[in-house]
């Protein structure tokens, strides 16, 4: 059965990221600056290039690919929770090229902003903490 816990919405931010900055690093810095320890992240916009990860379930490790071309951020969806007493941003992106073809994956450092509008919904409740999960090799929520 699915495990869950009830949370409550708190503050909400709307913002935009600076041209030429690293998308992942900027979201991380935003959460640190505002003391966000749990939340939801949404964004749309465009990138100059991207680095996205795919988790190889056999090898239990991420494989990263760099896509060196301008693309639309058709969707960025993520969450913020605690890992090793630090807030961690975990986000996935779907990106579209000029022909409308999409690629997607785990957002990694190396994704450079062209323009980006983001929303962070701060959540309050029992802090969600990530711990190493033997079965998947991932850091998953301890519930
Ligand atoms: Zn991921």
pLDDT digits (tens, 9 = 90+) for 53-88: 999 999 999 999 999 999 999 999 999 999 999 999
CA distance linking residue 76 with residue 32, whole number of Å = 19
Q: Using 50, 70 and 90 to split pLDDT, how confident is the model at 130?
A: very high
The verdict on pTM exceeding 0.75 is yes
Q: How far is the CA of 110 from the centre of ligand 1 (A)?
A: 15
Q: How far is the CA of 125 from the centre of ligand 1 (A)?
A: 23
Please give all residues whose CB falls under 5 A of ion ligand 1, grouped by chain where several chains appear: 106
Q: How far is the CA of 77 from the centre of ligand 1 (A)?
A: 10
Contact 120, 13 (CB under 8 A): yes
Residue 39 has a pLDDT of 98
Q: What is the average pLDDT value for the chain, to the nearest integer?
A: 97
Q: How far is the CA of 26 from the centre of ligand 1 (A)?
A: 17
Q: How far is the CA of 10 from the centre of ligand 1 (A)?
A: 24
Q: How far is the CA of 106 from the centre of ligand 1 (A)?
A: 4
Q: What is the DSSP string of 10-62?
A: EEEEEEEEPTTSBHHHHHHHHHHHTT--SEEEEEEEEEEEEEEEEEETTTTEE
Q: How far is the CA of 115 from the centre of ligand 1 (A)?
A: 22
């Amino acid at each position: 059965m699915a495990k869950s816990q009830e949370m409550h919405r708190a503050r909400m931010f709307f913002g935009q990221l600076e041209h030429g900055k690293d998308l992942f690093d900027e979201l991380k810095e935003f959460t640190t600056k505002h003391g966000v320890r749990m939340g939801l992240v949404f964004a749309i916009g465009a990138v100059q290039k991207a680095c996205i990860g795919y988790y190889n379930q056999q090898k239990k490790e991420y494989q990263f690919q760099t896509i060196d071309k301008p693309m639309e951020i058709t969707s960025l969806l993520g969450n913020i929770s605690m890992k090793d007493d630090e807030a961690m941003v975990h986000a996935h992106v779907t990106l579209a090229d000029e022909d409308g073809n999409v690629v997607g994956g785990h957002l990694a450092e190396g994704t450079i902003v062209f323009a980006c509008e983001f929303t962070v919904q701060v959540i309050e409740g029992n802090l969600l903490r990530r711990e190493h999960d033997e079965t998947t090799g991932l850091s998953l929520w301890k519930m």
